Structure 1
């Protein structure tokens, strides 16, 4: 997001010898969308969202459109729902890949493969209408071929030996933290109603510092994998999140290749909830996790209230997944900054971040 001057997260690691004693997080300043949107017709805002959000614009549009349609009690045809889901999935693949190439060292990535991949994703977004099945199939075939060139895993689930993705995983393995066992919690579609009630409730701090049952669950590719496969134990570092990201790209591409049918889609890609006349919300599963928009419309159809909650607010909460994964971890002096940066990158904030280390041995 690129609306405010201080659009970043500040992370400070407090070190006692080679152990992370505490993690301090100064969150980003959220865009003042509620103030900007109030009193304006909802229809005038849909095209403005790509200018307000440089990341996940399709997901933001889908969330606002779905919430507004539900508030108006509009019936949405199946073809529109399918196109909306395809746009969200295509953008999700692109953002998951962006996180791979930007957030993690990815050796041996060829410019030709990246150009082909970007071209295929752009073509897929441009031909998302169901009527353009032939163009869509060609775009998907181009994406799959480009991913194969990068070493995307097939049925065996492991990237090809020596491929960019395999080398990326190996590089992360070398700097992985020695984390202590922790209890995990994950955000899912089952939490939607609870969160939506809180969004439109009386607590103005919830959008900035959300919590469920006194804690901040993780959201994103690894959380989706854990929830789907009901895996609650084992390692939980940057390597596991990277593997989950790669596996999700494969699953989403398989869904597109199979025809992108709504009935075979994963649960909760785009969900809307009517809460009464002029009041509704929507949740969209985007690359970084679950995104929420909630609206109240006045009798003239203008926005009376607007609230939104992005995945970054959960993952970079002061008691959230980043803190839980880092606190108590043992660092090696030689590569400790790289290891911590890898964990932050694996949670993929939607804004930039700063990272500082401070000794507390004498505190």
Structure 2
């Protein structure tokens, strides 16, 4: 069970101030807005562009580019960024998977003991965070109906794979922590390569819902005479950083002796914007 009282010293992650998005786009032509925003927020450009064009009523981008972007982002984290962060050798591109990733608990246990693919990365993460450390409790899954609500929600790539046998196995033994989320990244890479990602769609209320490398983007726009009157954009990081959300709970579950691992935990949770750690004993 998650114990939110373990971090009595107030370790927390503070996001950088957000841009005044509505003011930036008000009165601009729809094509100008569709071109401007992905340049302002340079991560997940394809996902943002798809969501914006859908919300603005413009012609959509072919979704193969979206799957390719998600696969590239996942492969980079698994084969380069996280191995370097953990002092492991860099792997070459898609070799991060090392062939077939296991589909059941027994196969996963064998995989973890070997050297193929990302097994060394998974062991390194498990060694840094014991069961119950860096974890989050079960949060409501993001849905189209509450995608624009800035409350604590499981808006993550893990939400796309909650019922996978390996995810259930890791959750039972470690909790919804760093190892669980790295496994989700592997499964989502496979899903992107196989064309099994959620399909972008527009809700009856005009909210564009689009899969991205961190979860689901949600964008709603008000357009009049070809110009944007208002725009609302909610990202996976907005839900990650919400009060009582994944980031807050994960940091709160670190015992004081593990506060030095807080920066690594933030890196594995992977917000799309800079955050500053305050409080605790992380220095």
Relative to the length of structure 2, the TM-score reads 0.80
Shift of 1:186: 4.0
- Are residue 94 (structure 1) and residue 34 (structure 2) matched? no
Residue-by-residue CA offset, 1:109-152 (whole Å, 9 max, x unaligned): 25xx2xxx4xxxxxxxxxxxxxxxxxxxxxxxxxxxxx2x3343
Residue 185 of structure 1: aligned partner? 139
- Are residue 342 (structure 1) and residue 264 (structure 2) matched? yes
Q: Is the 8 A contact 1:63 1:291 kept in 2?
A: yes
Secondary structure of residue in 1 paired with 2:118: helix
Q: In angstroms, what is the RMSD of aligned CA positions?
A: 3.0
Residue 16 of structure 2: aligned partner? 28
Give aligned pairs, total. Answer: 262
CA gap 1:327/1:107 in 2 versus in 1, 3 angstroms = same
Residue-by-residue CA offset, 1:29-81 (whole Å, 9 max, x unaligned): 11222111110110122222332122011111100101111xxxx8x7xxx6x
CA gap 1:60/1:356 in 2 versus in 1, 3 angstroms = same
Q: Is the 8 A contact 1:294 1:306 kept in 2?
A: yes
Shift of 1:270: 0.9
Q: Is the 8 A contact 1:40 1:302 kept in 2?
A: yes
CA gap 1:194/1:241 in 2 versus in 1, 3 angstroms = closer
- Are residue 194 (structure 1) and residue 146 (structure 2) matched? yes
Shift of 1:353: 2.5
Aligned mate of 1:290, from 190, 200, 216: 216
Q: How far, CA to CA, are the matches of 1:186 and 1:89 in structure 2?
A: 25
- Are residue 355 (structure 1) and residue 277 (structure 2) matched? yes
Q: Is the 8 A contact 2:156 2:216 kept in 1?
A: yes
Q: Which runs of 5+ in 2 are unaligned?
A: none
Q: Which has the larger radius of gyration?
A: 1
Q: How far, CA to CA, are the matches of 1:287 and 1:107 in structure 2?
A: 23
Secondary structure of residue in 1 paired with 2:19: coil
Q: How does 1:162-311 map to 2 (within 5 A)?
A: 162-163=115-116, 165-179=118-132, 183-188=137-142, 191-196=143-148, 210-211=150-151, 216-226=152-162, 231=168, 234=172, 235-255=175-195, 265-267=196-198, 269-275=199-205, 280-298=206-224, 300-311=225-236
Q: How far, CA to CA, are the matches of 1:94 and 1:186 in structure 2?
A: 28
Shift of 1:226: 1.3
Q: Is the 8 A contact 1:99 1:345 kept in 2?
A: no
Secondary structure of residue in 2 paired with 1:243: helix
Tell me whether 152-161 or 342-351 shows the greater mean CA deviation.
Answer: 152-161
Shift of 1:153: 4.3
Secondary structure of residue in 2 paired with 1:297: strand
Q: Which runs of 5+ in 1 are unaligned?
A: 1-15, 118-146, 199-209, 256-264
Secondary structure of residue in 1 paired with 2:222: strand
Q: How far, CA to CA, are the matches of 2:56 and 2:204 in structure 1?
A: 9
CA gap 1:328/1:336 in 2 versus in 1, 3 angstroms = closer
Q: How far, CA to CA, are the matches of 2:123 and 2:52 in structure 1?
A: 40
Q: How far, CA to CA, are the matches of 2:21 and 2:164 in structure 1?
A: 33
